[in-house]
Every structure is written in structure tokens, then in C-alpha cells.
Chain A
């Protein structure tokens, strides 16, 4: 027990580890804030020059980058409507409208506190229930991933704001864009129009930068002559009463974040969107309508994406299966240092597990301190005259897109998606469902085909599996209930129940 506590507090007591965690968190915040600079990329670069370091030092730096980077994406989402990272897509829905009302400082302050709460919930779950949850994640069959992706796609109902048909169309369009390229099973080209450049597919970050960054820049040209909104930067730190008021929602959405984060291949982006959907359904009287600057939307997204970090560590440390791209890089780092992540890690090297738990908690504390710094300066970014800001956004979009695969073709695609996004925006389409479709479409396609193969290409057998496995049955029921809640039948039933009560 005393050994466990000493491992847990190792990062808190060693000045070297304290400094590296702080440095990583600080760098992560700013890397995450720049669209196109991904946490995965930063972690990969870091791993390469930490080979000769002590494993604890290397892990401290990477953990800091990871925690800071997931949070940092919210900065550009709130200030410019460009999510710095995919996990911040949902943050932009209510964060940017808040910036337009001059509330950017307060929004960033609140998102910092809620990210820390989410992060700590994730760490707590990792510490208390890692082996149990890890085992549960291993029970997920391809059909269950198919169902999870299906539930994720039903979030369209929450994201489309207005016409459901437009939301469904947008999500389907996103799914088609996500499937462009080589089929992962047969290596057959899909929607490539005979172009070799398209065989590698279209990275969804290219789509995200085009739809959110370029489309927004073009759209803002209409408001060029409007006076920049003065940001209120006097009350950045949210009051205790405000934090306590939103704490139950933050904890609820953090739990969603952890559970989604545990699933391999499903990360903070989906966790945040699911949490946003939950907030929209469960909060009866938001501070402002969702999509127009509701604090509740911001809190749900930020709590969940930070909690998903703790979740992503669960399968990595207990089963050796990375929960997302960053944890995949961390697995590589552990292997390089002669450690074997998986069921035996807890037996052979328990200090790595408890050290990581303590280090994640420490990085969250640094996030609270460092995240609150520089908000006033960041908030002023929105006050830059649009004639300077719009060309700068365009240049950042080019740099961000090019940095993904060093491909100019992807930069041209980004501009094309920007124009498409602008047109869709004019006619009342939302960008969220398109990106959601691009992320979930390929996951759904692959898991559908794996599930169908395991059922011997027999749809009846697949249906049988869906109802005979307890996990699949729970997920199928949830999917059907969410589907029904999107239909007029549900509203009618709710009204009837209220009348009879």
C-alpha cells in the first residue's frame, strides 16, 4: 500500500518530473490551440527524442502534452470557430456564439475548470475501475462497434438545429467523404474517380479545417465592416457558485466521456458529441438556447473530451490496446523502454500504472493553473480587425492542412471543402453532422462488414446475435430508443403522458 502511494506521488514530489509535466501541459495547450497541429503529432515527435531518457521522464512529458493538447483545442474553437483538435468540434457549437457575445474570456475560464473536473473524473475511474472496464471493452464485438457508431450518428438529431432532413443529408455526405479511398478489406478504390491521389482517402481533419476554418473565413467577409466585439475579460475565473451549479452536468458528461474513451478507436471527439447530445436532451432550461451560447453545451463537451483521456488509458494499461492515436504512440514509447503494456503490466511493473495515474492528476492541476494564464491575451485575438484576421485564418488553414501529410492536394481539397461548407451554410446546413459522418461512417462500414462476416453473411444470424448477446441487446435497445426519441411519435407520447399526469 505504501509502495502504491509512493508511486502515485512520484511525479508530485520529484522536481524534475514536476517540471517536465508542467512543460508538457503548457506546450500541449498551445499545440492543441493551433488547428492542424495534432497532439498525436507532438507526442510522436517527442517519443523519438525521449528514447534515451528515463521512462518516467518521457511519460511525464507525454502525459502533459496529451492533457494540455486535448484542452487546448477549445481555445481556437471558442475564439475563431475552428476546432484546434477533433475533440473540440462540439466545443465550437456554443463556445463561438459566446465569443460573439463578448464572453470569450469567461467561456475559456469555464471550459478550463470543467476540463479539469472531467480530467480528474477520468483519472479516478482509471484508478478505481481500470481492470473491470478494460475487460468490458474487450467484450465489444464488431456488431457492438457498429451499434455504438449508429448511436453516435443519431446525434445528428441534436446537431442539425432545424431541419432533420438536412442533418441526415449532411451526415450521409460526411460518411461518403470518409469512405473515399481504398476499401480497408478488399483494397478496392471507392469514390476515387480513378485518381491515385485519392486512394489514400481524405483525412477528416482536412474536411474539418475546410468546413470550419475556410467556410467561416468566407462567411465572415460579409461582416467585415462590423466593429470587432469587445471581449469582457474582467471575470475570467468562474465563481464557485457557477461551478457548483454546473457540477452535476459536468460529472454526468465526464462519465459519458470515460466510457466512450475506453472503447478503442473511439476518442474524445465522439465522447464530446455524445455528451453534448446528452446535455441538450437533459437540460430543460439552459442559460441560452443550445447552439446560441449555452454554457451547458460548452461544459458537456469540455468535461467529456478531457475525461476521455483517462478512459483511453484504461485499455492501454490493462490490455495493451490503445484507446486512441495518442495512447498508441505511448504504447510504442513503453515498448521502446522495455515495458510490455497489457495484462501483465500491473503484475510486473505496477509502478508504471500508479505513476501514470498520479501524473495524469498532476497534469490536470497544471492545466488549471496554466490554462487560466494568458486567457486575456487569447481573448483579444477576436478583437483583431477582420481584414487582418480573415487572411490569417486562411494561411493557418493552409499550414494546418499541409502539416497532416505534407500534401498540397489535401490543401486544394481543404479549399474545396471550404467553398462547399460556405454554400451549405448559406442554405442552413450545419457543419457538425458532416464531420460526425466522416468520423463514424468508415467505423460503421468496417464494423458492419466484420459483424456480417462473423455471422456468415447471413442477416438473420446477425439479427439473432444482436438480441442474444446481453451487451448487443443493451446497445440495440438504446439505439432504438434514441431513434424513437427523434420521431414525432415520441413527442406525441410525451405530451399524452404529461396530459394524463
Chain B
């Protein structure tokens, strides 16, 4: 067996989670109409969830061909996974995006978008607040001209 390819940190756990998720989808599909009829509202979803379950099992089995990652233990693996795929920069940007989406409705679209653009550009560039403000204002002007004036699109 070729064991040259190494498993990514967290890949095994993710594959197991996919199987659990598929089982959950299978349960929800069954709840629609059970096995009442071959032509019921739940018949096709049941078939699709079976495909999900089988393919997730195949994904899990495929991992046997790969060698284990270097990390030892769950905590080390989690730390390594977080550091690789969710470093501080990603987490802060995601937090800014979530706050932005939460603020749109009560702080208005233009104000929250301006604040989001300035905050994220300043954070990603490590400073230069004034130029970030100018860029954000310029982008907002383009959005206003394009979406509100030209295309009359409803903005949040």
C-alpha cells in the first residue's frame, strides 16, 4: 500500500463528522414521510442521504491509504489545526465580519459598511487609518453610484 501521502491535521475527525452529519440528514429525511411511498416528499431526500452516508464512509476508508499526521493527541492536533487554518488574522477578520452583519440593521448599511471597511483594512495593513478612511469612503461612493443610483438595488 502506498503510504506516501500524509493525512492533514484534523482530516480524520472531519471525515467522522461528515459521517455523523450524513446520519443526521438521513434521520431528517426519514422524518419527512418515513418509508410511506416510493413517490413521497421524503423518498428522494432519503436516497440522497444514503449516497452522502456511503460517500462519507468511502472518504473515511480512503484515509487508511494515508499516513498519520505528526501531531500527537487531540489537544496538540486541535492547536495545530487552529494555528494553520484559523490563525489570529482569520479569526479577527471573521469576528469583524460577524459584527458587521449584526450591525447592518441597526446602524444602517452605509455606516456599518464604512466602519467594517476601515476596521478591516487598518487591521490587515497594520495601520494607516487615514488612507483606510479615504479608501472606504471611495468604495462606498462607488457602491452608492452603482447600486443605489444606477441599478436601484435594495441595500440592507
Which of B33, B38, B59, B146 is in CB contact (< 8 Å) with A165? B59
With a CB–CB cut-off of 8 A, which chain A residues contact B153?
A: 37, 399, 403
Q: Is the CB of A387 within 8 A of B59?
A: no
Contact pattern, A 172-213, Cβ under 8 Å of B = 1, otherwise 0 = 110110010001011010110100000000000000000000
User: What's the least CB distance linking B49 to chain A, in Å?
Assistant: 7
With a CB–CB cut-off of 8 A, which chain B residues contact A34?
A: 146
In the complex, what residue of chain A is closest to B120 when comparing beta carbons? A391
Within 8 A of B (CB), among A370-417: 385-388, 390-392, 394-395, 398-399, 402-403, 406, 408, 411-412, 415
Judge if A427 is at the interface, Cβ distance under 8 Å: yes
Which of B33, B143, B146 is in CB contact (< 8 Å) with A188? B33
Which stretch in A56-64, A337-345, A440-448, A487-495 binds the other chain?
A: A440-448
Q: Is the interface of B mostly helix, strand, loop or mixed?
A: helix
Q: Is the CB of A415 within 8 A of B101?
A: yes
Which of A390, A406, A459 is in CB contact (< 8 Å) with B154? A406
Q: Is the CB of B8 within 8 A of A426?
A: yes
With a CB–CB cut-off of 8 A, which chain B residues contact A394?
A: 97, 100, 116, 120
Judge if A479 is at the interface, Cβ distance under 8 Å: no
Given A398-B104, A449-B39; A415-B155 close (CB under 8 Å): no
Chain B: interface size category:
35 or more
Q: Is the CB of A457 within 8 A of B38?
A: yes
Q: Is the CB of B155 within 8 A of A399?
A: yes
Number of A-B contacts (CB under 8 A): 143
Assembly CA distance A449 to B39 (angstroms): 6
With a CB–CB cut-off of 8 A, which chain B residues contact A183?
A: 32, 41
Within 8 A of A (CB), among B90-134: 90, 93-94, 97-98, 100-101, 104-105, 113, 116-117, 120-121, 124-125
Task: List residues of chain A with CB under 8 Å of any chain B CB.
Answer: 31, 34, 37, 42, 45, 163, 165-166, 168-169, 172-173, 175-176, 179, 183, 185-186, 188, 190-191, 193, 218, 221-222, 224, 385-388, 390-392, 394-395, 398-399, 402-403, 406, 408, 411-412, 415, 419, 423, 426-427, 441, 444-445, 448-449, 452-453, 457, 459
- Leading 6 A-B pairs by shortest Cβ distance: A387-B124, A165-B58, A169-B55, A183-B41, A391-B120, A445-B44
Task: List residues of chain B with CB under 8 Å of any chain A CB.
Answer: 8, 10-11, 14, 18, 25, 28, 32-33, 37-39, 41-45, 48-49, 51-52, 55-56, 58-59, 62, 85, 89-90, 93-94, 97-98, 100-101, 104-105, 113, 116-117, 120-121, 124-125, 135, 139, 143, 146-147, 151-156
- Besides A176-B25, A221-B93, 12 more A-B contacts (Cβ < 8 Å) are A45-B152, A179-B44, A179-B45, A218-B90, A395-B139, A398-B101, A398-B104, A398-B156, A399-B143, A408-B156, A423-B14, A445-B44
